[in-house]
Amino acid sequence: MFQRFILVALILLVSSCIDPYRISLPEGQRLLTVDGFITTDFGPHRITLTRSDTYGSVFEGLIRPVSQATVAVRDSQGEVTFLVEMEPGIYETPRSFRAEVGRSYILQITLQDGKAYTSLPETVNPVPAIDSLSYRSVQIATDSRVENRSGVQILASFRDPADQTNFYYWRTVPGTFVVVANPELHTFPPDHPTNPRGPNPKDCCATCFLVDPSRITGFSIASDEDFNGLSNRLPVAFIEDNGLRFKRTYRAQIQQLGISAQAHRFLRLVEQQVSLTGSVFDQPPANIRGNMISLSDPDETVLGYFIAASVDTKQIYIENERLQFLQTPRIIPDDCRTVPGAVVDPPADWNPPRN
Amino acid sequence: MKKYKFGLLSLLIFIFGIFISCEEAEDFTTSLATEDVLYLSGERVRLLGRILTTQAVNATDHGFYIATNESFTQPLIISLGQRTNPGRFIGEASGLQVDQRYFVKSFLALEGEMLFGNIIELNTLTPAATGLQPNNGRFGEIINILGRNFTADTRVFFGNTEGQVVGIDFESRIRVRIPVAEAPVVTIRVVSQGREMVVSEVFEYTTGTYRKISDFPGSQRFFNNVFLQSGKDFYVGLGTERGLSFNSQFWKFDVLAQQWQQVPFEGTPLRFAFNSTQYFGSGSVLLDRFPFFLVPDFWKLESDGSFTRLPDLPFVEANALAYELDGQLYVAGGENGFGRETYRYSPATGNWMRVNNTPFRVTRATISFVYEGKIYILNPETRELFAYTPSTDTWSFVTNYPGQPGGTGGFGLVVDGRAYIGMEFRSNRIWELNLSNMNWALKNDFPGIIQASNAGVFLHDGLIYFLRSADLQLQGPMEMWEFDPKGFN
């Protein structure tokens, strides 16, 4: 019996000596990343240059801006427009610059170390105007039994020209909305000497205006192979309700861009990659080749895509009372000006339709 | 048992047969594409090709053919050398003819076999010169000529004199050194591959000549004085003599005769008074800088050279800025109030009234000038130029001043639609603002000493005159200088 016990103990002892398995991953490269586009609207148009982070078993660094590069946009007539570095890694065209339909453009970059990069030519294709924008309230089921996500889906109506092959790209410009606060509910701080958390209503201000600070901007794309020459009404954007945006009025601004087939293909691949859910039916993750090329090493991987596009922009006011699904409103028991970025005066062009 | 062995052997043979039969003879093909024209200008082309294959290539050479005909007779060959890996390659050629049709195709030399890609047709671009930056300067300085598709052999002529091309950036910006002037205003010609382009803007050489025309006939140095003008007669007076005593008199300078003459004045000596061309008033009657003891005296210089005392001012001020617009006097700012309040005096009615405040604090040291019924004032801190429109009683931003910030005590005068601004404290620079297109140009520097202030500034017959009162530590009399903005030598 004792021998058996010793045997079992020895087996346990040996089996418990597990060494952690350390995975040695090859260090990734810091890849030049180009992000930006030019349109037929007046500038400034922005191009952002960064270096991607390396990957490894631990978080090893930050995405760093690429500064002091010479950045220029050159059109098919040979007209060169130099971009000015406004912030580290952020380069802007002059305000007077705008792309012209029918011309093709390349982005030229020369880094501080002399390395030169160029984009493949991007031709500016015409884009039909947005006839109108509309919206509908939508609800998205979640794992939670108590609460679903909801938001506003924006639909664009436009007529696709029959005599062209069109590729569409819709972006949302950061919207502006009315911040509704409750200054009458303001209370003293908990460490107040005489009346902690006691009522301390403020006279001002219940409503402010705020440019949506969300940095995540969704996008939609489409090609006209399924609707060439037809009038369309397509969902182009989704703005999620965070309990604050749709308390009164939200102004959304939609850009409809006409892009090249190559840019459309690139964005479609990006869309596939960002919608990976981890299921077995997902596309395999991969680096997407853009249209930037290193002149010294054409096989160098450069991330990003330089887009040149024509654009039409429209805005729509979304009214709270017309939304079927709303999240529980977030209460701001204070002056609305305490919300970072909120101002009392509406934007100069704020003009919601009167009911 | 035998049956079992037979079955096992049959199974092994079957599996072996499957694996053997799955082997196929590999048949690799190599394709070549002339993918795109990455860059095209007047004389340069950058091409992108791609080798498409699943295996290594053992190419002895690869690159592009360029020719003016589709049969590629006598092609220009871009040879990129040996190549083993498939993928993209970039070739570049220069020295092409501008505005010429070319055909290009990629090639790959594979063990004696030549593989060609598809043919792309292209047209080299035409050079054009579109502008100058800046459009003025002096001999030896470098300016930029803007345009597109400039070739490496580009030459630039200022009139008939060739400038030295220092460099060409992105084939769109020529850096050229300004040659010796042959005339104050010249046309710029750019020649690329024998094609001549004339820039629509003309180039102006830096002009402006200075001449000392008179010394003040005495040892006085005027400070905090007033200066007035009546035609060819310039008046300087009051203020202090070196800050030690009041100067109770005026001196008149006849610019045609170039003679000085003392002019009696019966009023109270003043310092820190305001003055326009004809009017002066208020100011302090104490020698100390602070506190001011301000008086409401108000005077006018008549055309016969006499001084007329007008009814007292409804306000008192020190170092206020004064100017005349459409026959009306404006007095703005100063050091006694909050520095922006402005009064308008109507000589016809003798009434004073408040008008819109200036957009920033002003004193008589603020640079200002009058042009086409508007007063222009320069904010020394922000270098912003503002204009006042009397009909709407509004101020509006005009442009930015390229001179040094913080400068005060300078002058502003307009000659033939161009404002001349400068000669601030410790500065010898004058800038010219073309009021028709808001273009700034630097004039030749003042050759006199800069340790001096402007005791009087006058305009006569298209020439600017200024009386320089040197700092106390310097010797010598006050000097009257003449500045010809268009002077060229």
Angstroms from B150 CA to nearest CA on chain A: 9
Residue in this structure with the two tokens 């459009």, named with its chain if needed:
B135
B36 in contact with chain A, both atoms CB, cutoff 8 A: yes
Which residues in chain A are contacts of B127 at CB distance < 8 A? Answer: 78
Cis? peptide before B291, omega within 30° of 0: yes
Mutation choice for A interface testing from B90, B130, B151 by most A CBs within 10 A:
B90
Q: What is the pLDDT of residue A94?
A: 94
Q: Do A120 and B48 touch (CB under 8 A)?
A: yes
Mean pLDDT of the B292-319 span: 93
Number of compact structural domains in chain A: 1
Q: For residue A28, give Cα distances in angstroms to A286, A293, A336, B166.
A: 14, 19, 46, 42
B285, B268 Cβ separation under 8 angstroms: yes
Q: What is the pLDDT of residue B112?
A: 79
- Measure the CA–CA gap between A254 and A170, rounded to whole angstroms: 7
Query: Considering the domain boundaries, does residue A143 fall inside one?
Result: yes
Mean pLDDT of the B15-28 span: 62
Which are the contacts of A170, defined by CB distance < 8 A and separation ≥ 6? Answer: A156, A219, A220, A221, A236, A237, A254, A255, A256, A257
Q: What is the pLDDT of residue A169?
A: 94
Band (pLDDT 50/70/90 cuts) for residue A20 is confident
Residue A243 belongs to domain spanning:
127-258+315-350
Mean pLDDT of the A20-31 span: 75
Q: Do A76 and B40 touch (CB under 8 A)?
A: yes
Which are the contacts of A150, defined by CB distance < 8 A and separation ≥ 6? Answer: A137, A138, A139, A140, A240, A241, A325, A326, A327
Has residue B363 got a pLDDT over 60? yes
B197 in contact with chain A, both atoms CB, cutoff 8 A: no
Q: What is the pLDDT of residue B299?
A: 95
Which residues in chain A are contacts of B39 at CB distance < 8 A? Answer: 74, 106, 118
**Token digits for A11?**
């087996």
| Among A118, A120, A298, beta carbon nearest to B89 | A298
Has residue B82 got a pLDDT over 80? yes
Q: Do A78 and B41 touch (CB under 8 A)?
A: yes
Mean pLDDT of the B350-376 span: 94
A299 in contact with chain B, both atoms CB, cutoff 8 A: yes
Sheet with B384-389, edge to edge strand ranges: B368-371, B374-378, B384-389, B394-400
Band (pLDDT 50/70/90 cuts) for residue A60 is low
Q: Do B46 and A118 touch (CB under 8 A)?
A: yes
B173-177/B142-148 β-pairing? antiparallel
More confident residue, A140 or B23: A140
B46, B66 Cβ separation under 8 angstroms: no
| Among A79, A80, A120, beta carbon nearest to B38 | A120
Q: What is the pLDDT of residue B97?
A: 94
**Residue B372: which of B331, B341, B418 has the closest Cα?**
B418
Band (pLDDT 50/70/90 cuts) for residue B23 is low
CA A326-A330-A333 angle, 5° bins: 150
Angstroms from B25 CA to nearest CA on chain A: 30
Longest dimension (CA), chain A: 94
pLDDT more than 70, % of chain B = 97
Q: What is the pLDDT of residue A145?
A: 75
Has residue B74 got a pLDDT over 70? yes
Size of interface A-B (CB pairs under 8 A): 51
Query: Considering the domain boundaries, does residue A63 fall inside one?
Result: no
Mean pLDDT of the B368-390 span: 94
Q: What is the pLDDT of residue A1?
A: 65
Query: Considering the domain boundaries, does residue A246 fall inside one?
Result: yes
Q: What is the pLDDT of residue A296?
A: 85
pLDDT more than 70, % of chain A = 93
A72 in contact with chain B, both atoms CB, cutoff 8 A: yes
The interface predicted TM-score of the complex, written ipTM, equals 0.71
Has residue B361 got a pLDDT over 90? yes
Which are the contacts of A63, defined by CB distance < 8 A and separation ≥ 6? Answer: A33, A50, A51, A52, A53
- Measure the CA–CA gap between B224 and B227, rounded to whole angstroms: 10
Query: Considering the domain boundaries, does residue A177 fall inside one?
Result: yes
Residues A232-266 pLDDT 10s: 999 999 999 989 999 999 999 999 999 999 999 99
Which residues in chain A are contacts of B90 at CB distance < 8 A? Answer: 293, 295, 298
Has residue A16 got a pLDDT over 70? no
CA B322-B324-B329 angle, 5° bins: 70
Which residues in chain A are contacts of B149 at CB distance < 8 A? Answer: 78
What residue in B sits closest to A80 (Cα-Cα)? B172
What residue in B sits closest to A300 (Cα-Cα)? B88
Select, from the ranges A14-18, A76-80, B117-121, the one with the highest average predicted confidence (pLDDT). Answer: B117-121
B125 in contact with chain A, both atoms CB, cutoff 8 A: yes
**Token digits for A113?**
């170390």
Residues A130-173 pLDDT 10s: 999 999 999 888 877 777 889 999 999 999 999 889 999 999 98
Query: Considering the domain boundaries, does residue A198 fall inside one?
Result: yes
The tally of CA atoms less than 13 A away on the side-chain side of residue B281 is 26
Q: Do A293 and B38 touch (CB under 8 A)?
A: yes
How much is the mean pLDDT over chain B?
91
Query: Considering the domain boundaries, does residue A86 fall inside one?
Result: no
Has residue A14 got a pLDDT over 70? no
Has residue A337 got a pLDDT over 60? yes
| Among B38, B127, B170, beta carbon nearest to A72 | B170
Which residues in chain B are contacts of A299 at CB distance < 8 A? Answer: 85, 87-88
Q: Do B148 and A80 touch (CB under 8 A)?
A: yes
B487, B209 Cβ separation under 8 angstroms: yes
B41 in contact with chain A, both atoms CB, cutoff 8 A: yes
Write phi, then psi, for A203 (nearest 5 degrees).
-75, -30
Band (pLDDT 50/70/90 cuts) for residue B10 is confident
Q: What is the pLDDT of residue B218?
A: 86
Residues B227-251 pLDDT 10s: 999 999 999 999 998 888 999 999 9
- Measure the CA–CA gap between A290 and A264, rounded to whole angstroms: 11
Has residue B437 got a pLDDT over 80? yes
**Token digits for A119?**
């984009």
Give the bridge partners for A250, in sequence order: A177, A318
Q: Do A106 and B38 touch (CB under 8 A)?
A: yes
Query: Considering the domain boundaries, does residue A102 fall inside one?
Result: no
Which are the contacts of B3, defined by CB distance < 8 A and separation ≥ 6? Answer: none
B150, A102 Cβ separation under 8 angstroms: no
Which residues in chain B are contacts of A79 at CB distance < 8 A? Answer: 148, 172
Q: What is the pLDDT of residue B405?
A: 77
B188, B129 Cβ separation under 8 angstroms: yes
pLDDT more than 90, % of chain B = 79
- Measure the CA–CA gap between B64 and B103, rounded to whole angstroms: 10
DSSP 8-state code for residue A270: H
Q: What is the pLDDT of residue B403?
A: 86
Mean pLDDT of the B406-427 span: 91
Residues B185-225 pLDDT 10s: 999 999 999 999 999 999 999 999 999 999 999 888 899 99
Has residue A48 got a pLDDT over 60? yes
A310, A101 Cβ separation under 8 angstroms: yes
How much is the mean pLDDT over chain A?
88
Query: Considering the domain boundaries, does residue A234 fall inside one?
Result: yes
Which residues in chain A are contacts of B88 at CB distance < 8 A? Answer: 293, 298-299
A40, A100 Cβ separation under 8 angstroms: yes
Q: Do A78 and B171 touch (CB under 8 A)?
A: yes
Alpha carbon dihedral B407, B413, B414, B419, in 10-degree steps, equals: -10
What domains appear along chain B, each with residue ranges and CATH number? 31-123 (2.60.40.380), 128-203 (2.60.40.10), 209-484 (2.120.10.80)
Has residue A218 got a pLDDT over 80? no
Mean pLDDT of the B85-96 span: 91
